[in-house]
Structure 1
Amino acid sequence: MRRLIVRRLLQTIPMLFFVSLVCFALVKAAPGDPVLSFVTPNMHADDIERVRHNLGLDKPGYVQYGIWLKESLSGNLGYSLINHLPVMKQIVERLPATAGLMGSAIALAVLLAIPLGLLAGANRNKWIDKLVNLFAYVGISVPLFWLAILFVYFFSIKMHWLPSMGMHTIGKESAIDVIKHGILPCSVLAISFLSTYVRYIRSSTISQLKEDYVQIQYAFGSGKRTILFRHVMKHVLLPIITLLGMSMGELVTGAIVTETVFSWPGIGSLGMTAVRGMDYPVILGITLFSSVMLILGNLLADILYGFADPRIKTTR
């Protein structure tokens, strides 16, 4: 296991280098000029060039990339062009809000997807399977922003049950207030994750019920529920581990659209603000940070495979 971890960590070096190179090239190729954020109507052309020189944007692209990469390796992701604050500081400050929201949504989706997927797969083509499939198809097809707007309209505007935006009520800093503000965005994200997870678990359950060990358990007199939740569930956890590993990147970036609709002060809304203001250092910092989390999530998934299925062993 130690060799696996070391080998995977070494493999992340060229991967991160490639990701950083592609992201930097795409950002530089994007239309717009970040210097325009500092330009005033009466500013002279020489002053504009002086601003460009101070930002280091008058150097060739490969030189800018080398400088940015060198600083990033030391933990310095640069400074925002909009508020002039360190990029890493802004990411760290907003990380708890996004991680809490996304973590709650993913945990809720997994807790609901496992029993629903198992029941749907065990009762294939029956009414419960059709109902779960209908819910999954609707959840996958409906855009998140439209679902978020519907939730705001019904639960905030019409029924006045829950707040529609923000993370805190002005003058309140209690945990209950944060939970109330997080119910709607968490529910929207959980529905999105749940729809995907249920489909994977259902498909895996159907294939596992055809295996020989299931027939052996029936021969030993085990009931359907015992086989389903004691034996089959261990095997259907493998695709869920993969999906959870891939979701690590989303724990950083969050659902940008959902955070924007609900004005949730997370990294997703920070990224949206950076895109609108052509704040290239923030965009690059968020992209690089989320890539690191995604790679670490895949590494964690590989490690968890061995615990979920002892038959999976690490070989030379």
Structure 2
Amino acid sequence: MGRRIVGRLLQTVPMLFFVSVVCFAMIKLGPGDPVLSFVTPNMHAEDIERIRHNLGLDQPAYIQYFNWLKEVVQGNFGYSLVNHQPVLDQILDRLPATAGLMGSAIGIGVLLALPFGLLAGANRGRWLDRAVNAVAYVGISIPVFWLAILMIYLFAIHLHWLPSMGMRTIGVSSAADVLKHGLLPCLTLAFGFFAVYVRYIRSSTIGQLREDYVQLQYAFGSARRIVLFRHVLKHVMLPIITLLGMSMGDLVAGAIVTETVFSWPGIGSLGMTAVKGMDYPLIMGITLLSSLLLILGNLAADILYTIVDPRIKGSR
């Protein structure tokens, strides 16, 4: 296992290099010029070119990339072209807000999807299964921004139960206020995660109920509830582990649309600001860190596979 982990970690380097090359090329091929954010109506052409030279944007694209890569290898992700603040500091400042929001949404989605998915698969074709499927189809089909707007209209504007935006109320620094502000974006994201997870769990449950070990448990007189939540649940967790590993990238990239709609000060809203301002170093930093967490999440999923299912460990 240790050798496998070391091998996967070594594979991270070329993968991150490839991601950085593709991301940098897409940025350069895209429209827009970050220098335009510094231009004023009365500015001369010489002044504009001086700004471009100071930012290093007058050099060929491959030289700009290798200059950026040289700094990243030394642990320096550069400075924002818009606010001139260190890129890494900005990402780390926004990371707790996104991690808390995404972690809570994923946790709520999984905790709700497990029992409903198991019961829907065990009652295939009945009213409970049809109801769960209907909710899952709605959650998968509805756009996130539209659901967020509906949540704001219902709970913030119409009922006045919850705040519509931001992370804190001005002048209030309590944890309860943060939870109150985070409830709407968290439920919006959790509904989407629930819709995806419950479909996987239902499908896996239907397949597991046909296995011989389930019939053997029934033959020994085990109750249906015991079979579902003690034996079938262990095998149903395998696809969920994969999905959780793939969701690690969201902890950095965040729910960009959701954070933007609710004005949540996380990585997602920071990324949107960087894209609007053509802030190349900040875009590269967010993309690189998201890719790193996604790779590490897949590695963690492989390790959890061997813990949950001993058969995988034996085959390896």
Distance 1:125 1:315, change over 3 A: closer
Normalised by the length of structure 1, the TM-score is 0.99
Distance 2:30 2:280 in 1: 10
Distance in 2 separating the partners of 1:215 and 1:10: 44
Cα 1:136–1:187, aligned 2, differ >3 Å: closer, same or farther? same
Question: Given the alignment of the two structures, is residue 224 of structure 1 paired with residue 229 of structure 2, yes or no?
Answer: no
Measure, in 2, the Cα distance between the counterparts of 1:54 and 1:177. Answer: 44
Give the counterpart letter for 2:295 in structure 1.
I
Secondary structure, aligned partner of 2:235:
helix
CA distance in 1, matches of 2:263, 2:14: 36
How much does 1:297 deviate?
A: 0.4
Letter aligned with residue 299 of structure 1: L
Contact in 2 for aligned 1:4/1:314 (Cα 8 Å): no
Q: Matches of 1:125 and 1:69 in 2, distance apart?
A: 56
Retained in 2: the 8 A contact 1:245–1:297?
yes
Q: Which residue of 1 aligns with 2:214?
A: 214
**Partner of 1:44 in structure 2?**
44
- Write the letter of the residue equivalent to 1:50: R
Amino acid at match of 2:235: H
Give the corresponding residue for 1:16.
Answer: 16
For each residue in 1:1-43, what CA deviation from the matched residue of structure 2 results, as whole angstroms up to 9, or x when unmatched? Answer: 1011101001111111110000000001110111111111111
Q: Deviations over 1:252-286 (max 9, x none)?
A: 11110100110000000001111111111111111
SS of alignment partner, residue 312 of structure 1: helix
Supply the RMSD in Å over aligned alpha carbons: 0.9
- 1:47 CA drift (Å): 1.2
Correspondence for 1:280: 280
Is residue 191 of structure 1 aligned with residue 194 of structure 2? no
Please identify, of 240-249 and 55-64, the stretch whose mean Cα deviation from structure 2 is larger: 55-64
Q: Does 1:168 align with 2:168?
A: yes
| Aligned amino acid, residue 61 of structure 2 | G
TM-score by length of 2: 0.99
Q: Which residue of 2 aligns with 1:56?
A: 56
CA drift of 1:82 comes to 1.1
Q: Percent identity?
A: 74
Structure 1 position 314, deviation (Å): 6.8
In the aligned structure 2, how far is the partner of 1:109 from the partner of 1:298? 19
After superposition, residues 260-275 of structure 1 pair within 5 angstroms as 260-275=260-275
Distance 1:233 1:51, change over 3 A: same
Cα distance, 1:306 vs structure 2: 1.0
5+ residue gaps, structure 2, are none
Corresponding letter in the other structure for 2:24: F
- 1:84-118 superposed Cα distances (whole Å, 9 cap, x missing partner): 10110000000000000000000000101100100
**How many Å separate the matches in 1 of 2:257 and 2:231?**
39
Query: Which residues of structure 1 form unaligned runs of 5+?
Result: none
Whole-Å Cα distance in 1 between the matches of residues 50 and 154 of structure 2? Answer: 52
Structure 2 matches for 1:218-257, cutoff 5 A? 218-257=218-257
Q: Distance in 2 between matches of 1:149 and 1:50?
A: 44
1:60-99 equivalences under 5 Å are 60-99=60-99
Partner AA of 1:287 in structure 2: T
CA distance in 2 between counterparts of 1:96 and 1:276 reads: 23
Return 271-280 or 133-142, whichever deviates more: 271-280
Q: Is the 8 A contact 1:151 1:184 kept in 2?
A: yes
Counterpart of 2:9 in structure 1: which amino acid? L
Deviation at 1:315, TM superposition (A): 6.4
> Counterpart of 2:248 in 1: which secondary structure?
coil
- 1:234-264 Cα offsets, whole Å, 9 max, x none, are 0000000000000000011111010011000
> Partners in 2 of 1:284 and 1:176 — Cα distance?
35
Mapped to 1, the partners of 2:113 and 2:308 lie a distance apart of 17
